[in-house]
Amino acid sequence: MPVSSIPSRLDTSVQYLKGVGPKAAQVLAKLGVETVKDLLYYLPFRYEDRRDFRPIGSVRPGEWVTLKGRVVSLDSRNRQGNFTIIRAAIADGSGAIGLIWFNQRWIKTQLDKHEGEIIVYGQVKEGNYGYEIASPEWETVDPADDVTGFARLTPIYRLTEGLSQKLIRKAALSAVTSLQPKDIEETLPEEMRKANRLQPLIWSIKQVHFPDTEESRVAARRRLVFEEFFVMQLGLAMRRAQTGEEPGIAFEVSSAVIEDLRSALHFEFTAAQTRVIEEIYSDMRRPHPMNRLLQGDVGSGKTAVAAAAMLAAVRSGYQAALMAPTEILAEQHFVSLHQLFEGMGVRVDLLVGKQTAKQKKQAIDRTTDGSADIAIGTHALIQEGVAFNKLGLVVVDEQHRFGVLQRGALRQKGHGNPDVLVMTATPIPRSLTLTLYGDLDLSVLDEMPPGRIQIKTHWKLPAERNSVYEGVRKLLHEGAQAYMVCPLVSESEKMLAQAANELYLRMSQMVFPEFRVGLLHGQLKTKEKEQSMEAFRRHEIDVLVSTTVIEVGVDVPNASIMVIEDANRFGLSQLHQLRGRVGRGERQSFCVLIGAANNSDAEARLRVMVETSDGFRISEEDLRIRGPGELYGTRQSGELELRVADLLQDGKVLQEARQAATTLVSDDPRLSRPEHARLAVAVRDWDSRVASTDVS
């Protein structure tokens, strides 16, 4: 949160707050709460309206409720494997409801000691003995408790072991009640607050912890969300404005480039591809660096668009570089682009960590002397010692894993200020696009190639595996080809290769002995991978057992069956990418997800895959299920350290903050006016935080 130059009183340890002390301070530190300032911005994640508790007798299954009652029964039972089940029941005169906890023995100890009422929150379900709530949040009721817990909208904070709601509420109340206007200065100018209907900062901090009304809570949170988004968008807008002022390369791009590429591809570009290529070419012709994000769904043709940009750079006398986050993806791009450009006199080279010293030296020598027109690689491209003769275009297969500094490191190897094109593997919710890539112009491929038949997706349980194989066998006899993707057992390529080998043996010897079964995984040599894929393309292989190496860059029109083993282990984005490998020909294609719904998130992912093939909806669901940091691996980049805002629910506020930031930067590009001094400090703090945590 952009609160800068806060006086030292707010930088003191939370242990000095009333009701905390050294022991509780150590527990709070696990949540990242070490100072009073940290606590003020450790906000409740929900609130309970304790002005009017529901009568227990009125609840119904499926409802999320907050109830208050006295414990009327309590029992603890140990099951096999040292598994403990705690059962209790509370009553309030209108009825009783059961409570159940798993493997939390300490709960029985605490309830045994408590003689009064307790408060519980959770979802009502129909159990064997009536209504019950499984794993409810709960706390004891102390009649002598202070105002933090009763007859009000009560804040509920995320906890860790050893920390209670009562303790963190007392600490927050102490911090809030002692907060004075001199302690915390306004970041936003008064004129801006009025224009955007924003409450004062100190009022918002107090009300977001202990709101007087629901309206106050909403207004307080909106103010804090706006400020968090606004400072971020200011930083991105200032980056964007600075890039637009820098001198760059004015490429001489002719229409002949597109005609040559169209002939080599043997297909017509879609209207969306044509539009996006022209947007890119327009940028490349300008004497300023291009900073553009290419966003599109699986199968929309991003690689062809990137190829058009790279060919334009090469035909203008410059080199191009494509950086991918993994060696597997880099090799896939190398194979496809090498085949595309081989007959056009364009030399494509590969540079990855697993190459021998001799192979690396030869590749580096060719990029240095200019005999390599296009270099494709991983982080190896930005290592010391790698040089380019005349690098004019940088393409980053983002995969949401590269930070600003990594893109910049490759760009610095360029000739002057090279153009940058960032590609995303899947569509991204607009709210996330504006936070991750707010410094880039946006191009969207929102059209699929014509004639593509909708893929039919099915979710099957492991017990139904044999029936799935019978269905695949029938389609194979009809001339189709199939991918069999092995379980995601490890991030280690060696472990994935082992899993693929085991699945290959089972498929080739036990399941499909009458068909030709091939194998593809990341531990194979580049030539072996090329041979496997080429054999599959020529239909010399009927079933290709593979790891996620096929996730990107594989196009076999006759492959119409995708079976993903243990699909519950994969993320939504990856499942969507894998499904995109089929449905590229004239056959009806199928994607079968084999997996157990061993938790609610896994079930949600599998159901979404069956319900839709819309990449944007899938991306929204993935964001909802996993959160932006987990989804796109951006926690380490520093850009998504949102302490208040929620990208799903606060999209409207984000748009408002972005508009306000754009307007302010156009009016005061350097934030040099006196009334913007606090904002300038906040933006510098944000910028340094991003730089210090960006992976380089």
The full set of domains in the chain, from first to last, is 1-49+151-180 (1.10.150), 52-145 (2.40.50.140), 456-612 (3.40.50.300)
User: pLDDT tier at 633 (50, 70, 90 boundaries)?
Assistant: very low
Enumerate residues 6+ apart whose C-beta is below 8 A from 143.
116
Residue-by-residue DSSP string for 330-398: HHHHHHHHHHHHGGGT--EEEE-TTS-HHHHHHHHHHHHHT--SEEEESGGGGSTT---SSEEEEEEE-
In this model, does residue 586 exceed pLDDT 90? no
Helix (H) or strand (E) holding 76: strand 64-79
Tens digits of residue pLDDT in 269-310: 889 999 999 999 999 999 999 989 898 877 788 889 999 999
User: pLDDT tier at 637 (50, 70, 90 boundaries)?
Assistant: very low
pLDDT for position 362 = 92
CA 418 vs CA 384, 413, 567: distances in Å: 19, 9, 41
Q: How many CB atoms lie within 10 A of CB 691?
A: 13
Q: Can you tell me the distance from the alpha carbon of 235 to that of 680, in angstroms, rounded to the nearest whole number?
A: 9
Of 28-37, 562-571, 644-653, which range is least confident? 644-653
Q: Can you tell me the distance from the alpha carbon of 362 to that of 360, in angstroms, rounded to the nearest whole number?
A: 5
Q: Can you tell me the distance from the alpha carbon of 56 to that of 60, in angstroms, rounded to the nearest whole number?
A: 9
Tens digits of residue pLDDT in 333-344: 898 899 899 889
CA 319 from chain centre, in angstroms, equals 32
Tens digits of residue pLDDT in 375-389: 999 878 877 788 899
Helix (H) or strand (E) holding 433: helix 430-436
Strand-pairing partners, residue 458, are 592
Helix H segments across 438-492?
465-477
pLDDT for position 606 = 92
pLDDT for position 631 = 47
Q: Are 654 and 224 in contact (CB under 8 A)?
A: no
In this model, does residue 436 exceed pLDDT 80? no
CA 426 from chain centre, in angstroms, equals 11
pLDDT for position 635 = 40
Token look-up 């112009």 returns: 441
User: pLDDT tier at 641 (50, 70, 90 boundaries)?
Assistant: low
Q: Can you tell me the distance from the alpha carbon of 543 to that of 291, in angstroms, rounded to the nearest whole number?
A: 41
Enumerate residues 6+ apart whose C-beta is below 8 A from 430.
651
In this model, does residue 238 exceed pLDDT 50? yes
Enumerate residues 6+ apart whose C-beta is below 8 A from 112.
74
Averaged pLDDT for residues 348-374? 90
Helix H segments across 437-517?
465-477, 493-506
In this model, does residue 696 exceed pLDDT 50? no
In this model, does residue 143 exceed pLDDT 70? no
pLDDT for position 651 = 81
The mean of the pLDDT values for the chain is 85
Token look-up 């991204």 returns: 428
In this model, does residue 694 exceed pLDDT 60? no
DSSP code for 307: H
Helix (H) or strand (E) holding 411: helix 404-411
Of 367-371, 539-543, 595-599, which range is least confident? 595-599
Of 168-182, 447-461, 498-512, 550-564, which range is least confident? 550-564
Q: Are 362 and 288 in contact (CB under 8 A)?
A: no
Averaged pLDDT for residues 617-638? 61
Q: Can you tell me the distance from the alpha carbon of 584 to that of 487, in angstroms, rounded to the nearest whole number?
A: 24
pLDDT for position 685 = 85
Of 85-89, 207-211, 360-364, 582-586, which range is least confident? 582-586
Averaged pLDDT for residues 125-151? 76
Q: Are 450 and 270 in contact (CB under 8 A)?
A: yes
Euclidean distance between the first and the last CA atom of the chain, given in angstroms as a whole number = 24
Tell me how long the chain is.
Answer: 696
Tens digits of residue pLDDT in 68-119: 999 999 998 887 667 788 999 999 999 999 999 988 888 888 898 888 889 8
Strands (DSSP E) contained in 264-311 are 291-296
Q: Can you tell me the distance from the alpha carbon of 658 to that of 679, in angstroms, rounded to the nearest whole number?
A: 15
User: pLDDT tier at 695 (50, 70, 90 boundaries)?
Assistant: very low
Tens digits of residue pLDDT in 387-422: 899 999 999 886 555 555 566 677 777 787 899 998
pLDDT for position 87 = 92
User: pLDDT tier at 372 (50, 70, 90 boundaries)?
Assistant: very high
Cα dihedral 101→106→112→113 (10° resolution):
-140
pLDDT for position 541 = 95
Averaged pLDDT for residues 457-466? 94
In this model, does residue 608 exceed pLDDT 60? yes
Q: Can you tell me the distance from the alpha carbon of 297 to that of 323, in angstroms, rounded to the nearest whole number?
A: 20
Enumerate residues 6+ apart whose C-beta is below 8 A from 277.
258, 269, 305, 308, 309
Measured in degrees and rounded to the nearest 5, phi and psi for residue 544 equal -105, 110
pLDDT for position 313 = 96
What does pTM read for this prediction?
0.63
In this model, does residue 526 exceed pLDDT 90? no
Averaged pLDDT for residues 427-441? 71
Averaged pLDDT for residues 319-339? 85
Strands (DSSP E) contained in 92-230 are 96-102, 117-127, 130-134, 137-140, 153-156
pLDDT for position 204 = 96
Q: Can you tell me the distance from the alpha carbon of 417 to that of 250, in angstroms, rounded to the nearest whole number?
A: 10
In this model, does residue 6 exceed pLDDT 70? no
Of 248-262, 418-432, 551-565, 626-640, which range is least confident? 626-640
Strands (DSSP E) contained in 80-160 are 83-91, 96-102, 117-127, 130-134, 137-140, 153-156
Q: In a 10 Å sphere around its CB, with 0-12 CB exposed, 13-18 middle and 19+ buried, how is residue 181 labelled?
A: exposed
Averaged pLDDT for residues 202-207? 95
Measured in degrees and rounded to the nearest 5, phi and psi for residue 74 equal -155, 130
Q: Are 571 and 622 in contact (CB under 8 A)?
A: yes
Averaged pLDDT for residues 231-256? 86
- Residue that wins the pLDDT comparison between 526 and 582: 582
Averaged pLDDT for residues 494-502? 75
Q: In a 10 Å sphere around its CB, with 0-12 CB exposed, 13-18 middle and 19+ buried, how is residue 271 labelled?
A: exposed
In this model, does residue 554 exceed pLDDT 70? no
Show the 3-state SS of 234-252.
HHHHHHHHHHHHCCCCCCC
pLDDT for position 222 = 96
